[in-house]
Amino acid sequence: MNTPSAWKWVPSLYFAEGLPYVIVMTLSLVMYKRMGISNTDIALYTSWLNLPWVIKPLWSPFVDLIKTKRWWIVSMQLLIGAGLAGIAFTIPTEHFFQVTLAVFWLLAFSSATHDIAADGFYMLGLTPHQQALYVGIRSTFYRIATIAGQGVLIMLAGFLEKSGQGIPYAWALTFLLASGLLLALWVYHAYRLPRPEQDRAVRQHSASSLLYDFLQTFRSFFKKEQAGAAILFMLLYRLPEAQLAKMSIPFLLDPVSEGGLGMTTEQIGFAQGTLGIIGLTAGGILGGLAVARHGLCYWLWTMVWAISLPDIVYVYLSYFPDSSLILINICIFIEQFGYGFGFTAYMLYLIYYSRGSHQTAHYAICTAFMALGMMLPGMIAGWLQETLGYPHFFVWIMICCIATFGVTALLKINPEFGKK
């Protein structure tokens, strides 16, 4: 395959990978909040949507057994597009919360399966040199999808909310447009995705032998040096962020009389979905450059402070809810920039721990623990917030930063790791 042809599918494939994830994880939060669902229910039920990414390593071997990666990609995009349309048509109904949650579950499993197939297809469809060449392109278009979902679609919903047709109409139309976009990508990829010779179902292994191999790999993961400390780190490094991620949007949307900031949906789309993502990306890039120069060990504690200390902006905003829109945007940018910089340490440690035999499988298990670390604390975040109130909830978030420092102190990292 020549390099120009990869431009025809790599950017669109990773755009199609990023968009459903941000719709499931972020768009659902804003939509449910605008539709009047309580913070407790939002946090509890949307946290369960992390589960497909938690258990993704369990079924990823069977994606190899059944059909081709290309078939899985195209099929999942059709299923996701149809699911988004299903959400659009059920939003105006009486039992929309239960029905849309069920469809979001379907979308989450489809999106996680799409991730498995897309990442595998990327390696099959490109030479090793091209894989290295396009790694920045795939990351860029994944971020563009995040801005499109978390920024543009939310701002569009906010604009439609002011049309006079009502909030359900605005969100139904937004999800219908998202469905159209995914179905257009489905049609495009059905014709444009290449058909690599290596992309075929693995017939030489039975399901039972694959299961045995997986169990052996799983066992070796827990026998690695510092396994206990590593798992604690994966689960608790983002303990503050796991709760903050569920309650930051409700806090921004709730009226000042209820302890929130009273922002509009459009303002959320710009602040969190556009400016915040730019800060997150900039922090991540700077973190990567820093580690490449001096290694992970050198920057580890700076990154721990970077992911923890900026959370204090939410404490400030909760005590001063009448802050100007410019100041709110600056605070969100600072928090997301710090998160992006500090998250670099987390992702690099997953790579560090996964080294050795079964590296790919061990990394997949690490990402499962990563998703679990976001899912479990997120489930109780809404109840905690409604019990404590926003100011005390954000103080609690700062107290949880102690866990971040504690689990980091348990790690032993080679000082040379990460250096160029």
Residue 45's pLDDT is: 95
Taking the CB of residue 229, how many other CB atoms lie within 10 A of it?
16
pLDDT(1) > 50? no
CATH of the domain spanning 224-420, picked from 1.20.1250.20, 1.10.10.1200, 3.20.20.10, 3.90.230.10: 1.20.1250.20
Interatomic CA distance for residues 309 and 339, integer angstroms: 10
Q: What tokens were used for 264?
A: 């509009």
Residue 204's pLDDT is: 56
Residue 207's pLDDT is: 61
pLDDT(3) > 60? no
Q: Taking each helix axis as running N to C, give the angle between helix 10-22 and helix 69-90, from 0 to 180 degrees, rounded to the nearest 10.
A: 40
User: Are the CB atoms for 134 and 37 separated by under 8 Å?
Assistant: no
Phi, psi of 416 (to 5 degrees): -85, -15
- Which residue is associated with the tokens 């997301």? 336
Residue 201's pLDDT is: 67
User: Are the CB atoms for 149 and 22 separated by under 8 Å?
Assistant: yes
User: Are the CB atoms for 276 and 338 separated by under 8 Å?
Assistant: no
Q: Once rounded to an integer, what is the mean pLDDT over residues 365-391?
A: 95
Q: Once rounded to an integer, what is the mean pLDDT over residues 104-121?
A: 91
Question: Which amino acid does the sequence have at 42?
Answer: I
Burial class (CB in 10 A: 0-12, 13-18, 19+), 392: middle
Q: Once rounded to an integer, what is the mean pLDDT over residues 146-163?
A: 93
Q: Could you state, in order of their start, the residue ranges of all structural domains in the chain?
A: 1-193, 224-420
Average pLDDT of the chain, as a whole number: 90
Q: How many CA atoms within 13 Å lie on the side-chain side of 370? A: 16
Q: Which of 118-127, 133-142, 162-171 has the highest mean pLDDT?
A: 162-171
Which residue in 104, 55, 61 sits closest to 79, CA to CA? 104
Residue 4's pLDDT is: 41
Q: What are the tens digits of pLDDT across the range 170-225? A: 999 999 999 999 999 999 999 989 888 877 766 555 667 767 777 888 888 898 88
Handedness of CA 345, 42, 145, 157 (dihedral sign): negative
Handedness of CA 227, 231, 234, 239 (dihedral sign): negative
Residue 325's pLDDT is: 95
User: Are the CB atoms for 272 and 149 separated by under 8 Å?
Assistant: no
The contacts of residue 398 (CB under 8 Å, 6+ apart) are 240, 308, 311, 312, 315
Interatomic CA distance for residues 415 and 125, integer angstroms: 35
Same fold across 1-193 and 224-420: yes
Q: How many CA atoms within 13 Å lie on the side-chain side of 292? A: 7
* Segments in 35-93 forming alpha helices (H): 39-47, 51-54, 56-65, 69-90
Q: What are the tens digits of pLDDT across the range 232-256? A: 999 999 999 999 999 999 999 999 9
pLDDT(51) > 60? yes
CATH of the domain spanning 1-193, picked from 1.10.3720.10, 1.20.1250.20, 1.25.40.10, 1.20.140.10: 1.20.1250.20
Q: What tokens were used for 91?
A: 């939003």
The contacts of residue 409 (CB under 8 Å, 6+ apart) are none
Burial class (CB in 10 A: 0-12, 13-18, 19+), 4: exposed
pLDDT(86) > 70? yes
Q: What are the tens digits of pLDDT across the range 334-361? A: 999 999 999 999 988 988 898 877 777 7
Q: Once rounded to an integer, what is the mean pLDDT over residues 401-419?
A: 90
Q: What tokens were used for 189?
A: 């990829």
Residue 364's pLDDT is: 84
Q: Once rounded to an integer, what is the mean pLDDT over residues 290-313?
A: 93
pTM here? Answer: 0.89
Interatomic CA distance for residues 353 and 3, integer angstroms: 33
pLDDT(307) > 90? yes
Interatomic CA distance for residues 96 and 102, integer angstroms: 10
Residue 2's pLDDT is: 42
The contacts of residue 95 (CB under 8 Å, 6+ apart) are none
